[in-house]
Amino acid sequence: MTEEEILNNIEKQKKESECFKKGFKAGAEYKNRLESKVDKLETLLLEFTGYGDEWLLSKAKLKKTNREVLADLVINQRQLMRELYNKLDSKTKIELKKRVESCIWPIMHNED
């Protein structure tokens, strides 16, 4: 091997090392973001299943939260509800739909 080839190989190895480090860091950041999202969804699930009042956000805490965070919270809750609803059997879906409609439109269901 000539000196030029050796220098080219060393330069190539340095570039590959830098690319690997960048990719590894990006992968680690992505993993952290996914773990954070999973943790948030687990907390939401615990809130919906009534795990306990200590998991629920208090009214004071909700008032202190900015609109962007509240909007994200509502969107995540809707997503979670859809996922849970889609896992139900058809009979349970119909019963749940009736219960929800009776809460939203109580007058219409009292007339029946």
Residue extents of the structural domains in the chain: 1-53, 57-112
pLDDT digits (tens, 9 = 90+) for 83-94: 888 888 899 888
How far apart CA 48 and CA 82 sit, in angstroms, is 12
Mean pLDDT value of segment 38-46: 75
Query: Rounded mean pLDDT of the chain?
Result: 80
Give the pLDDT score at 68: 92
What is d(CA 39, CA 55) in angstroms, rounded to the nearest whole number? 13
User: Does 111 score more than 60 pLDDT?
Assistant: no
Asked if residue 112 has pLDDT above 80, the reply is no
User: Model-level pTM?
Assistant: 0.43
Q: Is the pLDDT of residue 56 over 70?
A: no
What size, in residues, is the chain?
112
